[in-house]
């Protein structure tokens, strides 16, 4: 086994090293503090491996993303979201009979508890859909209290979460616009059911356009997992305390809500609207983004992991053109986006910093084409990400190295001082 050598205060220490299946190398520092009295300092954990995982592989330098070994380019647009969800959770693609039964079980377990439906009447009219989603998912452990702590039927928990997250999302939208709730059907796919629950009316039959169903399938798959990002690592941290699956996933939803994480696609769309309203003057906003004294930022460019094109953005760029053409939609924001990408990718400022379009850059335009309201964009992200969170929850609970997560810190406060008697009682 290869070791790394650390020299600290003239003393040499050896730390074991190991590699993953894709030759990612890691230095095992679990005994560092005991050996040296020192800890590592890594704000944001950008260089810290918190776990070993067999779920998703990313090579940010080469623009590679794989789920359970399958390249994202082979999955998105080739299989249904529910099949990809099975792969994510169980580590393999289902057989055809398994897929049909799985899809049926997701529908049968997508009905929100009747008493829980009453919650929708008590949220403020100003409540953000992500706030509602996180609260409703968290409350599921109150409606299934015994089941939540009994993991012997974990498949039921999984089916409830994946099934009900889309129902809660659709119901929250219908409530916000004063429409009656529409319930799912077993003869519809996962994506088709969601679109039907969003946009159908009880007065007439609603046929989900195939182009919309296929586009949503692809979007949900693209958002399904992305390694140890903020929301996924939040799910794992909460799970490390042995919290139930509903509480852990709810924490992930709240982390995803942040504008630097799941809210980024909404921010991209608002940015594109600002540029379009200013006559589409892309060059002006590219120049503003380069100025340190100006608060304007180009949203949708650059990624914490990818130093090359985000492979998801490549898929989306092609899909947006195809979907909008098939639906007969001309969106001026797409024209702005293409112009912005073209200008930015020729600019030395962006080239030097490797700021390429990411998944958020085009996803908002596609959601918009499907009729999804802007405030629901992050909710769609959460629906897609649900199987990924579940897979990480399962993996962590089965990890023989499981310990409650407890990062260290470097204290920079006051040194010891003594209390002087004052009349503060």
What positions carry a catalytic annotation? 303, 360
Q: CA geometry: angle at 166 spanning 163 and 171, to 5°?
A: 120
Helix (H, G, I), strand (E, B) or coil at 181: coil
Is residue 336 within a helix (H) or strand (E), and if so which, with residue range? helix 332-344
Structure tokens at 228: 């140890």
Which residue from 87, 28, 397 is spatially nearest to 236, judged by alpha carbons? 397
Q: Exposed e or buried b for every residue in 271-292, given b needs 16+ CB within 10 A?
A: bbeebbeeebebeebbeebeee
Phi (first) and psi of residue 144, to 5 degrees: -125, 60
Query: What is d(CA 159, CA 197) in angstroms, rounded to the nearest whole number?
Result: 18
Which residue from 313, 294, 315 is spatially nearest to 302, judged by alpha carbons? 313
Whether the Cβ atoms of residue 310 and residue 60 lie closer than 8 Å to each other: no
Please compute, for residue 250, the number of CA atoms within 13 A of its CA located in the half-sphere on the CB side: 18
Structure tokens at 365: 């335009």
**Count of C-beta atoms within a 10 Å radius of residue 265:** 27
């Amino acid at each position: 086994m290869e070791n790394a050598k650390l020299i600290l205060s003239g003393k040499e220490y050896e730390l074991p090293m190991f590699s993953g299946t894709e030759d990612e190398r890691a230095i095992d520092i679990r005994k560092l503090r005991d050996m040296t009295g020192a800890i590592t300092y890594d704000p944001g954990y950008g260089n810290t491996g918190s776990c070993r995982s067999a779920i998703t592989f990313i090579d940010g330098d080469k623009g590679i993303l794989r789920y359970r070994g399958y390249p994202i380019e082979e999955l998105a647009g080739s299989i249904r979201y529910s099949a990809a969800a099975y792969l994510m959770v169980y580590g393999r693609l289902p057989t055809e009979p398994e897929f049909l039964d799985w899809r049926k079980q997701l529908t049968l377990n997508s009905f929100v508890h009747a008493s829980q439906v009453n919650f929708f009447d008590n949220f403020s009219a100003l409540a953000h859909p992500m706030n509602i989603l996180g609260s409703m998912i968290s409350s599921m452990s109150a409606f299934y209290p015994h089941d939540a702590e009994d993991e012997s039927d974990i498949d039921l928990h999984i089916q409830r979460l994946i099934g009900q997250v889309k129902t809660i999302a659709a119901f929250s939208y219908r409530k916000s616009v004063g429409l009656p709730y529409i319930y799912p059907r077993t003869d519809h796919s996962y994506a088709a059911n969601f679109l039907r629950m969003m946009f159908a009316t009880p007065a007439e039959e609603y046929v989900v356009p195939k182009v919309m169903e296929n586009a949503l399938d692809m979007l949900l798959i693209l958002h399904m997992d992305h390694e140890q990002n903020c929301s996924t690592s939040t799910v794992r941290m909460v799970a490390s305390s042995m919290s139930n699956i509903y509480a852990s996933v709810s924490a992930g939803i709240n982390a995803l809500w942040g504008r630097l994480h799941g809210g980024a696609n909404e921010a991209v769309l608002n940015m594109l609207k600002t540029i379009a309203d200013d006559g589409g003057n892309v060059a002006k906003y590219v120049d503003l983004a380069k100025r340190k004294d100006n608060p304007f930022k180009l949203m949708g460019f650059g990624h914490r992991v990818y130093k090359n094109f985000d492979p998801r953005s490549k898929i989306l760029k092609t899909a947006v053109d195809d979907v909008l053409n098939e639906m007969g939609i001309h969106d001026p924001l797409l024209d702005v986006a293409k112009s912005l990408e073209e200008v930015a990718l020729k600019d030395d400022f962006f080239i030097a910093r490797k700021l390429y379009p990411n998944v958020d850059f085009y996803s908002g335009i596609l959601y918009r084409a499907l009729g999804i309201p802007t405030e629901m964009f992050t909710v769609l992200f959460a629906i897609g990400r649900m199987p990924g969170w579940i897979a990480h929850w399962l993996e962590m609970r089965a990890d023989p190295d499981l310990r409650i997560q407890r990062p260290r810190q470097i204290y920079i406060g006051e040194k010891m001082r003594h209390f002087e008697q004052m009349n503060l009682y």
